[in-house]
Chains A and B, each alone.
Chain A
Amino acid sequence: MTGLKRLGLAIMLHTAWLKRAGFAGILAIVATGCSDDSSSFSISDRTSSLIPEAQSGIADTPGVVNLLEDKFGNPQQLKAWTKLPVQWGGAAAAVEVFAADGDGAKVRFTVAEGQEFPAKATFVNVVTGAGAGRTLGLSSWDAATGEAVLTGLDGVVLAAGDTCSIDGGAVIQSGRVLYMRHCSHCHGTAGDGNGPTAQYLYPRPRDYRHGVFKFTSTNDMSKVSREDLLRVLRYGIPGTYMPSFLLMKDEELTSIVEYVRFLSMRGEFERKLVNELASDYSADAVESRLKDEQRADIVAELGKFLSEDLPGVVDGIGGELEESWVAADTEEARIIPSVPRVPDNEESRRRGRELYLSKTLNCADCHGIDGAGNGPQTMVYEKNPVTNVPYDEPGLHDVWDNLNQPRNLHTGIFRGGRRPIDLFCRIHAGIKGSRMPSFKNTPHEDIWHIVNYVLSIPFESEPGATGLAAGPAAAPAAEAAPAAGE
């Protein structure tokens, strides 16, 4: 059908359609649109480097792509792998009373143990019973009593005890709609950081599929917390193209956060699954194995692995994802300084500068002696840790393979936030995914000295001058106020 539409459009465009088809032709375009409106989660390059059998399975045995579809669905029809710690929205419930009433029916639901009815609900998915698989509308809903009026029954009769999900997946679906509207043009439909506008941006938009986010308030080994993601959405990331979405409603932002977590988990699942297969069944690996093996044997071996070992692997990955993402939101994961910020005075800044230059911390190795982001490490040719091939350009690279030079500390732009606690977290946990390492073993008092020093760098009268330059009197260039319209 889509093919026909496209063909029709192409013909119209190529034959001076305005003259021939005229108004009807324009109407046809308006009515049908110009392109296929379905979208898909693209698979990663690493997945497509596997041999076709590993990607799409052998006969009924699923491969990576089938497993992804099975566990996460596609953008039109998301699937909830309930093992994962995502707030899908909605509640599981059972029918208590069902009374047909004309086209609709009055029902009373009881909510599953440990859950709560959503305050607002518009639909019900029937899970068991005669109506299993059906989606019914709710024309009225009372979250306090669980009483509702069902519509769109079309002859379906529910019985007491049938299980349903009320507004199931409402949060993730609203997150998807908002994500597609506001985020996907940079971050991509699958969260691969490769949307249509991504190529114009420096730095590149985040690719979520590593499950790694740079600016977190959690320990170096922990994932990002919901609160961290919310903060980035609210306040943006100055110095990058990530804008602030402050004016969106809280519930909209939290549903986007859930959807971003969902995409991250999907990407991580894909990565980890491919990790299991890449060494033996990537197209390159198979080619080199063909020297002393038959392809049919390799495929048979893969089939055995896919059918016997992979289900266990999938469960294992699900468990890892569950554990790590749940842990990120716990109090244990959060960085809480053991001492309050030390007073910001000349002495503290001098101490901070000493630590900055010290052999043990060696900040200057990357950030440069005067903090301009030009330390010796920026001249080193690094190797790609996965392929072991040196990068084309010198300098430090992040896990996304982008050149990611150390920050020039003079700009006064703090991407992860300018609160002292933000800088404390950057030093304590490092910047995840980048080459900024964690200094969690440094005494917290020392970290505070460095924070005080770093916060003072933009106002230094000369590099390394740690004196208090506070007060407008000491500010150079403050007098020149070119005012337009005078």
Chain B
Amino acid sequence: MSSGSVISGKDQLLDIVYNYPRTEAVFRRYEEQTQVCLLCDYLFCTLEEVTRIIPLDHEELLIELNRAAQMG
């Protein structure tokens, strides 16, 4: 996790969208790409767990989530 990041791979998807509502839009974009309902089926998984199961760019996702989280 780089300095200034508030979200890490060990965070659960539920905690991410709960604490940083703007991150929901990021997940929705990835859901469209993957055709998987991340926020239905993986809500209690960590980002690391999700990206082990579903072919997602873990680093790219983290960057986008942190960017969304820091938008306030």
Are A and B a genuine interacting pair, yes or no?
Answer: no
Q: List residues of chain A with CB under 8 Å of any chain B CB.
A: none
